[in-house]
Amino acid sequence: MIARVTARFPATENVLLGPGDDAAVVRAADGRVVATTDLLVEGRHFRRDWSSARDVGHKAAAQNLADIAAMGAYPTALLVGFAAPADLPTAWADEFSVGLRDECAAAGAAVVGGDVVSSDTLTIAITALGDLRGAAPVRRDGARPGDLVAVTGNLGLAAAGLALLHAGQAEGHPDCLTAHRRPAPPYPAGPEAARLGATAMIDISDGLLQDLGHIAAASGVGIAVRSADLHPPAGLVEAVETLIRGGNAVRSPLDYMLAGGEDHALAATFPPRTSLPRQWTVIGTVVDGDGVTVDGAIPKLSGWDHFRRTPDNSDRS
Q: Once rounded to an integer, what is the mean pLDDT over residues 213-221? A: 98
Whether 314 maps to a domain, the answer reads no
* Confidence label for 248 from pLDDT (cuts 50, 70 and 90): confident
Residue 17 predicted with pLDDT over 80: no
Binding site for substrate: which residues?
Answer: 45, 262, 304
Binding site for Mg(2+): which residues?
Answer: 22, 36-38, 67, 115, 203, 206
Whether 140 maps to a domain, the answer reads no
Same domain for 175 and 271, yes or no, is yes
CB atoms within 10 A of CB 147: 26
Q: What is the pLDDT of residue 227?
A: 97
Average pLDDT, the chain: 89
Structurally, the chain folds into a number of domains equal to 2
| Residue-range definition of the domain harbouring residue 165 | 148-294
Same domain for 196 and 287, yes or no, is yes
Same domain for 74 and 194, yes or no, is no
Q: Once rounded to an integer, what is the mean pLDDT over residues 152-167? A: 96
Same domain for 38 and 160, yes or no, is no
Whether 142 maps to a domain, the answer reads no
Residue 268 predicted with pLDDT over 70: yes
Whether 80 maps to a domain, the answer reads yes
Same domain for 229 and 269, yes or no, is yes
Question: pLDDT, tens digit, for every residue of 103-149?
Answer: 999 999 988 888 899 999 999 999 999 999 999 999 999 999 999 99
Same domain for 115 and 15, yes or no, is yes
Judged by average pLDDT, the poorest of 44-58, 236-250, 256-270, 278-292 is 236-250
Q: What is the pLDDT of residue 308?
A: 46
Q: The pTM is what?
A: 0.88
Binding site: which residues?
Answer: 22, 36-38, 45, 67, 114-115, 140, 203, 205-206, 262, 304
Whether 139 maps to a domain, the answer reads no
Q: Residue 90: exposed, middle, or buried by beta-carbon count in 10 A (0-12, 13-18, 19+)? A: exposed
Produce one character per residue of 249-277: b if its CB has 16 or more CB atoms within 10 Å, e if not. bebebbbbbbbbbbbbbbbbbbeeebebe
Whether 301 maps to a domain, the answer reads no
Whether 89 maps to a domain, the answer reads yes
Same domain for 153 and 119, yes or no, is no
Question: pLDDT, tens digit, for every residue of 36-56?
Answer: 999 999 998 999 999 999 999
Same domain for 76 and 116, yes or no, is yes
Q: Once rounded to an integer, what is the mean pLDDT over residues 253-277? A: 96
Strands 74-84 and 110-118: parallel
Q: Once rounded to an integer, what is the mean pLDDT over residues 235-262? A: 92
Binding site for ATP: which residues?
Answer: 114-115, 140, 205
Altogether, the residues listed in the chain come to a count of 317
